[in-house]
Structure 1
Amino acid sequence: MKTALISDLHANRQAFATVLDHARRQGAGHFALLGDYVGYGSDPGWVVDQVRALRAEGATVVAGNHDLGVSQGPRAGMNEDARAAIEWTRSRLSEDQLRFLASLPMSEEDEDCLYVHANAFDPSGFAYVQGRLEAMRSLHATECRYTFCGHMHEPMLYHLSGTGKAGDFKPQPGMPIPLLPNRQWLVIPGACGQPRDGNPAAAYAIFDHDSEELTFQRVPYDVEAAAAALRAAPGLPPALAERLATRLVAGR
């Protein structure tokens, strides 16, 4: 079985639709959605409905900080644009959609896999895994062999050996990586809807449970259409569209 690991959709319809199509063509039979379905983007209703449909079909779905911000109110530490986007998003979602976001679990376990938005040591605190120190803290907090999380918006892979030796790896897209059985692994697939590594292509990853191989993916999508939809949405900060456009330029 292949699991598509998708995080940080951020109401980006163009990116999410492209990634779903790409993942299915790669043979993904299961979807693990790692949070932040809303916030920043212009199509929260469409994205939430797609997430709900996938969950009804058996997808693993966990909550992100923007999802809780929209359903429960902005969290401390969110910047001005994020707060503005949360208030805008709340006015665009139905009560049923808001209840769905509020109902999502902070984490899910399935055999030797842990799915969580930010980290394993404090899922509801949403601390970032910014480097090896936080990654090791997260791996020490679970007995699961694989931890899959988002929140950082940049693809990254960390590992911890049975002797306590830690390592990290910045992956190249499209290259299968064998996840050796004598290690724990922490996988950050990157952001589907808002990459922040200078490459505008949507990021996600596919984990092959049978071969125990992980493949990071980058999928070009219509960034200009996503930015135009943001500009056309009254009430969303213009900087959000400019940020997507900036990513486009930076990735060339």
Structure 2
Amino acid sequence: MKTALISDLHANRQAFQAVIDHARREGAQHFALLGDYVGYGSDPGWVVDQVRTLRAEGAIVVAGNHDLGVTQGPRPTMNDDARAAIAWTRARLTDDQIAFLAGLPMSEEEDDCLYVHANAFDPTGFAYVQGRLEAMRSLHATECRYTFCGHMHEPMLYHLSGTGKAGDFKPQPGVPIPLLPNRQWLVIPGACGQPRDGNPAAAYALFDHDSEELSFQRVPYDVEAAAAALRAAPGLPTGLADRLAQRLVVGR
């Protein structure tokens, strides 16, 4: 069975649809959605409805900090653009959509896999896994062999051996990586709707449970259309569209 690992959608309809289509073509039979379905993007209602549909079909779905921002109010650490996007988003979601986000768990476990938005050591605190130190802290906090999380917006892979030796790896798209059985693994698939590594293509990862192989994926999508939709949305900061467009220029 292949699981598509998708995080940080951020209400980007064009990116999310491209990733779902790509994952199904690649043989994904299961989906794990790792949070931040809303915030920044112009299509929060559409994205939330697609997430609801996938969950009804058996997908793993956990909450992210922007999802909680919509349901509970923005966190003090959020910048002005994030706060403005959260207020804009909440005004455009139905009561049912908000209730769906409010009811999501912070983490889920399934078959020796932990799914969480930020980390395993403090899921509600949303500390970033910025390097080996935080990755090892996260891996020490769970007995699961695999931890899948988002929040960082950049693809990354960490591992911990049985002797306590830590390692990290910056993956190349489309290259299968065998996840050796004598290690714990922490997988950050990157951001679907808000990549921040200079490559504008939507990021996600595929995990093959049978072969125990992982592949990181990049999916080109219509960035210009996503940016245009942001600019056409009254009340959203214009800088959000500029940021997507800048990703396009940098990634060329």
Shorter-chain TM-score category? over 0.9
Amino acid of the structure 1 residue aligned with 2:233: A
Offset from partner CA, 1:14-34 (integer Å, 9 cap, x none):
000000000000000000000
Aligned-residue offset at 1:171: 0.0
1:89 is aligned to 89
Offset from partner CA, 1:127-175 (integer Å, 9 cap, x none):
0000000000000000000000000000000000000000000000000
Q: Distance between the aligned counterparts of 1:57 and 1:218, measured in 2?
A: 24
2:155 is aligned to 155
User: If the length of structure 1 is used for normalisation, what is the TM-score?
Assistant: 1.00
Gaps of 5+ in 2: none
Offset from partner CA, 1:189-241 (integer Å, 9 cap, x none):
00000000000000000000000000000000000000000000000000000
Q: Distance between the aligned counterparts of 1:42 and 1:194, measured in 2?
A: 12
Q: Distance between the aligned counterparts of 2:73 and 2:27, measured in 1?
A: 38
Alignment of 1:165-180 (within 5 A): 165-180=165-180
1:49 is aligned to 49
**Greater than 3 Å deviation, 4+ residue runs:** none
- 2:18 is aligned with 1:14: no
The 3-state SS of whatever aligns with 1:128 is coil
1:79 is aligned to 79
Q: Distance between the aligned counterparts of 1:171 and 1:107, measured in 2?
A: 25
Alignment coverage as a number of residue pairs: 252
Q: Distance between the aligned counterparts of 1:207 and 1:52, measured in 2?
A: 22
Aligned-residue offset at 1:72: 1.1
Alignment of 1:186-197 (within 5 A): 186-197=186-197
2:164 is aligned to 164
Offset from partner CA, 1:11-70 (integer Å, 9 cap, x none):
000000000000000000000000000000000000000000000000000000000000
Aligned-residue offset at 1:71: 1.1
The 3-state SS of whatever aligns with 1:134 is helix
- 2:103 is aligned with 1:117: no
Q: Distance between the aligned counterparts of 1:107 and 1:246, measured in 2?
A: 33
Identity of aligned residues (%): 88
Amino acid of the structure 2 residue aligned with 1:135: A
Aligned CA RMSD, in angstroms, stands at 0.3
